[in-house]
Amino acid sequence: MKKSKLLVAAVTASVLALGGGALAGCNKHSHEYSQDWQKDGTGHWHVATCDDLKEGDKDYIKDFAAHVWGGDNECDVCHYVKTTPPPTPTEKVTLNKTELNLGLGNLEAELTATVNGGGTVTWSSDNPEVVAVNEETGYVEAFKPGAATITATVVGGTDKATCEVSVADGYYLIGGQDAAWNKVGVFGQSGVVYFMPTETEGIYKTESTELPRMGNFQVALVGVVDANWYKQAFNGKHIAAGDTVLSKVGDNIGVEKHGMYTITLDLTGEEAVISGVCDEEINDGDVQDIYYIVGSANKTSGWTTVTDAADAGDYVFTDNGNGTYSLTVELAKGGDFKVAIAGMAWNGSLGESAIPSDLIGTKGTATKDTTYKLTWSDSDNIGVGLSGRYTFTLNPNGGDRNKLTYTFEETEDTETGDEVTILHYYIKGDALATDNGWNVGTDEAYELKETGEGTGIYAITVELKATGGFMFWSCAEDKSGNVTGIQVDYFNNGNSTFTATDNCVTATTNFSPTAVGWYTITLNPETKVLTFSYSATAPTV
């Protein structure tokens, strides 16, 4: 017991001697901590930097706090960036519609998506030219007939859902208001009269629309804008039997009086049926019709329509005062024409419906045949089959196919005119290496020359650009040997056939070169056959 007491006393003395007293032994150590934040997905903190603390010790970490998120994925305090966890396998997206039918009368709709487990979607269309969709809202809009698939995809995931959208055919009135015959590529174009659906399925009507006197039109399909648009359109062959408002004018549908019209398209039967109602006749006052010949047979104005008698020259009909009109004029074989009304552009042109078949033969069988004095030319034009003096009598109110009769008188050109008629052939178009390609006229640089005397084959080598289009046309010499500049015929993909070496030329209505360079072109005007070959360099002389 004594030894133990002595040991305790010695230890106590030693402590007092080293520490300077009992109070000095109670001072605490002040730890040092990092200025930079340590961080992970749970929060941020500071760690001790002094030697007497290590990771895991008490007081090694201080100031721990949860992250403070602003308007993005970055902590406002320590700038930790959080990552978006991938969607859970349980997320599934469904749409309010899986099929949708649109068309004239309902061109717009809105799709909605529901994501199981929460989340948003982005929208897309596989055919936006037909149906477009807002990628954020699912709002869809149809532009033309066709089909498209609309897809909603979960943001950040792969799950998706689709809606099949079909857009019904839409029809419109082409040519009637101003005879411009502008084709409609998509719904909603300004100035277009559409056929809207009615309460009866398959029955469509226009709004009451103004049509000019002698106006003519067809019913065309929206979205068909190539040269063959008319093959899917409805023309004069589809007029309802007994309709007293509409009449067949050539291949078109015509109205006789200026007024407001409602046109009905009936697609409930095997074939389309078109009928019309004149809602209101518009009185134009006393209108004096000026009839004249328009076409290559007219050596004054050619195919350019005129606004008064003076511009038509010697090809104007005289008003006989009894409802008939007459004209005596010399015409050369090979020309073609229609009877038109001055100031009415093509609204008032009489072609196929103008002459009884017993005087001209059946369309398509008598072209350039002297069996008949008059023949059929291209389209529904009237062709001159024999040179001579013609006296025409026009009876505009005489009924369909009984408007124009004629008598013929031989002249000094009747037998010799065919031998002295000389035609010239030219190329024109904005594919030519000139800024005035469509208006080069009868410039000799753009004339096709006969390959040899009597061959009937004409050729030219000309520089073309890789853009634009081109075609060919012909005009005749007059009796003095001067080139008239009035078009007699034309040659493009619409009425000619062609071959192109190495596909150097493509075609829609006109022809288009595929590369910059020099093209050698031959034309057989009798058969309307063209050939094209290409060289990247200019030919050697």
Whether 93-167 shares its CATH topology with 173-280 is answered: yes
- Mean pLDDT for back-to-back runs of 10 residues, the chain (541 residues): 41 41 49 89 88 84 88 87 65 92 94 91 96 96 97 92 96 76 90 94 95 87 90 94 87 87 96 96 83 88 87 92 91 84 69 51 48 64 83 75 76 59 90 90 94 94 94 83 81 92 93 96 94 92 67
User: Which amino acid belongs to residue 204?
Assistant: Y
CB 380 within 8 A of CB 333: no
User: Quick one: the chain helix, strand, coil %, rounded to 5?
Assistant: 10, 40, 50
Q: How far apart are CA 27 and CA 20, in angstroms?
A: 12
What is the CATH topology of the domain spanning 291-418? Immunoglobulin-like (2.60.40)
Distance CA 124, CA 119 (A): 17
CA distance 193 to 265: 13
Q: Using only C-alpha atoms, what is the Rg of the chain?
A: 43
CA–CA gap between residue 315 and residue 300 (Å, rounded): 8
CB-CB neighbours of 534 under 10 Å: 19
Tell whether pTM > 0.75.
Answer: no
Query: What phi, psi does 215 have (nearest 5°)?
Result: -65, 150
The residue assigned the tokens 């649109």 is 102
| CATH number assigned to the domain covering 93-167 | 2.60.40.1080
Q: What's the pLDDT score for residue 299?
A: 86
Strands 171-174 and 43-47: unpaired
Residue 120 has a pLDDT of 92
Give 359's contacts (C-beta < 8 A, 6+ positions apart). Answer: 372, 374, 405, 406
pLDDT at 378: 52
Q: And the tokens for 501?
A: 């070496």
The CATH code of domain 173-280 reads 2.60.40
Strands (E), 360-510: 374-376, 382-384, 388-394, 404-409, 423-428, 447-450, 458-464, 471-477, 483-491, 497-500, 505-507
Secondary structure (DSSP) of 166-199:
EE---EEEESTTTS------STT-TT-EE-EE-S
pLDDT score at 431: 95
Tokens at residue 266, please? 């009936």
The residue type found at 51 is D
d(CA 377, CA 367): 6
Round to whole Å and give the CA distance between 165 and 127: 10
The domain spans of the chain are 32-83, 93-167, 173-280, 291-418, 422-535
What is the number of alpha carbons within 13 Å of residue 209 lying toward its C-beta?
23
- DSSP of 443-471, one letter per residue? -GGGEEEESSTT---EEEEEEE-SSS-BE
- Give the single-character DSSP code of 69: B
Taking the C-alpha atoms of residue 214 and residue 16, their distance in angstroms, rounded to an integer, is 130
Which CATH number fits the domain 422-535, given the four candidates 2.60.40.10, 2.170.8.10, 2.60.40.3620, 1.10.1240.10?
2.60.40.3620
Pick from 508, 497, 320, 512: which is nearest to 432 by CA? 512
Euclidean distance between CA atoms 174 and 218, whole angstroms: 6
**In whole angstroms, what is the distance from residue 126 CA to residue 287 CA?**
55
CA-based nearest residue to 528, from 377, 383, 372, 304:
377
DSSP label at 19?
H
Amino acid at position 468, single letter: G
Q: How far is CA 449 from CA 498, 501, 517, in A?
A: 18, 21, 20
